[in-house]
Amino acid sequence: MGQPRHVRAALLQLQRAAGNFSPRATPVFIAPFLSQEAQALCREYEVGYLDLMGNARIALDGIYIERQVADKPRAFQRSFKSVFKPKSAQVLRILLRDPGRAWKVVDLAQASAVSLGHVSNVRTELVDREWAEVTDDGLRLARPDDLLDAWREVYESPKGERLTFYTTLHGSILESATREVLNVNSNAPRSVFASFSAAQWLAPYGRVSTQYFYADDAGAKRLQDSLKLSPATAGSNVVITVLGEEGPFLDTIAPAPGIVCTSPVQTYLDLAIAGERGAEAADHLRKERLSWQT
């Protein structure tokens, strides 16, 4: 499918082969499909390209052809999106927590609570796209920003039931009541700040009038009791998503005593799809908490 890692090797071969001709031949790389990253590599190596979807860039003897199409093969789309499915996302969250760290497959599987086989599949996809590399010490991210950009483009909120409520508590009283119930340990009801509420603790951006939580069933019930929540179809100021997956609970952060939030990565992704205001808050969070040096 023309993954960047394989494309790079082929481009080097093409360049060497073109140099064997006199005058030098014009190298053109042809594949069933070339992703945006693969096309960028072709331009970097000054090699023309053509794929069967209709993407092309060829320059020779005064002739210049360039064409870009939006269509992508279904197989590529399936493979691309599979990297960001819930189980795979658990692996990505762990890697993005510390991009410079190298992980052995066994350790990464334990940390992300998925099987060894699943970690191996994710590793292959990341390496093929040159988002990660395999070193003597294990797997480490090579381009965390590119990985996060790609994830954002296909991100969907975690599956779960969205519940809306109203509470009369506010200010320090609400905060104090919340500190009493937030918890991420699986041996007790789980609930954490999410979205705009998490961002207020990680990288504040504007005023937040609604509180957002991720919780399990027991955690949602405890929030209702402790925050004195009443169901509300309109005028709500508390939103609880009862998660159908545990991924976001496996990667949380405690920015202050009694406060538990979704991680910067999870918070960023949730904000990025929360409308214009959310996108602005996401950009601010990324600058403050997700500026990596790799």
pLDDT tens-digit series, residues 118-147: 999 999 999 988 999 999 999 999 999 999
**pLDDT above 80 for 148:** yes
Residue of higher predicted confidence among 197 and 37? 197
Tokens, residue 33: 């499909």
Residue 77: what pLDDT?
Answer: 64
Over residues 76-92, the mean pLDDT reads 84
Tokens, residue 117: 């086989």
Residue 37: what pLDDT?
Answer: 84
Q: What span, in angstroms and rounded, lies between the C-alpha atoms of 220 and 238?
A: 11
Residue 194: what pLDDT?
Answer: 98
- Binning pLDDT at 50, 70 and 90, where does residue 76 land? low
Domain ranges of the chain: 4-67, 83-154, 160-289
Q: What span, in angstroms and rounded, lies between the C-alpha atoms of 236 and 229?
A: 10
Q: What span, in angstroms and rounded, lies between the C-alpha atoms of 255 and 289?
A: 12
- Binning pLDDT at 50, 70 and 90, where does residue 32 land? confident
Q: 83-154, what's its fold?
A: Arc Repressor Mutant, subunit A (1.10.10)
Over residues 161-188, the mean pLDDT reads 94
Q: Please tell me whether the overall predicted TM-score, pTM, comes out greater than 0.85 for this model.
A: no
Q: What span, in angstroms and rounded, lies between the C-alpha atoms of 203 and 44?
A: 36
**pLDDT above 50 for 103:** yes
Tokens, residue 190: 């789980």
CB-CB contact of 216 with 152 (8 Å)? no
Residue 2: what pLDDT?
Answer: 59
Q: Out of 70-79, 178-187, 257-266, give the one with best mean pLDDT.
A: 257-266
Q: What span, in angstroms and rounded, lies between the C-alpha atoms of 241 and 223?
A: 12
For residue 30, give the nearest of 45, 17, 18, 14 by alpha carbon: 14
Q: What span, in angstroms and rounded, lies between the C-alpha atoms of 262 and 158?
A: 12
- Binning pLDDT at 50, 70 and 90, where does residue 294 land? very low
